[in-house]
Amino acid sequence: MKQMSCPDFSDCSTFVSAVCVHQLHTSSTEPASSSYNGLYPGHIHTTPIQKALLAVGSGVAALRDPYRHDMVAVLGEATGHFALINLRDRMKNDPEGYTILTERPRIRLSTIDVAKMASLPEGSFGREYVRFLEDNHVTPDSRADVKFVDDEELAYVMLRYREVHDLMHTLLGMPTNMLGEVAVKWFEAAQTGLPMCAFGAALGPLRLNASRLQTLVTSLGPWALRNGLRARFVLNIFYERRWEQSLEDLRQELNIEPPPVILSAAKKMST
């Protein structure tokens, strides 16, 4: 394998891309019997050293611009192996979670009926999810495919986490502005143990102004952590079968309190 040179960290997205291109090139020279060949479409095998480089480059890029979805995605994949094993095992040990792992549902515009969900009664989970998408100008199709997770089942767990992220915003009543994203990351960090979530929860507050930081520290933060620790495991819910359930009832089932503060919708896209 050729030695990989280290690009200029002033452009971290270029750095991460260089790792991808390098690995794609070396993968093309590997024999077809390679243990990582064909794990899933788009998979790029990386060594521990390459994962560390990806984590550093994507982490710096995500810190500079938290709305860089691609860099946040790479950071999650490069650092999440052990957490993903734990998440997968928790899903396997729950009847509903096991069904999700078996059926592999996807949340995409091609798999959900947005028009039908928009016609559901006010207060239903599906209707509130569509309202969240409209108010925050986001789409479920914005979620990046998994590339750097070297296990097909764990790759799906990561993908499922990404595709239910906007559902977490809906359940928690949080928009996609920076304060809302940080509150969701605090909840997700407590729920999942993913290093990427802890990274966002710890460093996200640095981008808040004094007023929003006070709201996070005194109200939203403690609420998000408390609910993240005590709520039912969110990856064990087959949300596609809950669209008609009321948001209030679903919150009660998951042991999630309504938000203590109502935030207005954001203009930027969810991460």
Is 169 annotated in a binding site? The answer is yes
Residue 33 to residue 35: CA distance in whole angstroms: 6
Closest CA to 60 of 130, 12, 108: 12
> Is 165 within any annotated ligand binding site?
yes
| Whole-number Å distance between alpha carbons of 197 and 189 | 5
DSSP for 138-186, written as a single string: --GGGPPPP-S-SSHHHHHHHHHHHHTHHHHHHHHT--SSHHHHHHHHH
Q: Tokens 């004094």, residue? A: 210
81 is in an annotated binding site: no
In the three-class reduction of DSSP (H, G, I as helix; E, B as strand; rest coil), residue 48 is classed as helix
Distance CA 209, CA 216 (A): 11
Contact (CB, 8 A) for 143 and 163: yes
Does residue 166 have a known ligand-binding role? yes
Binding residues: 165-166, 169, 181
Binding residues for Zn(2+): 165-166, 169, 181
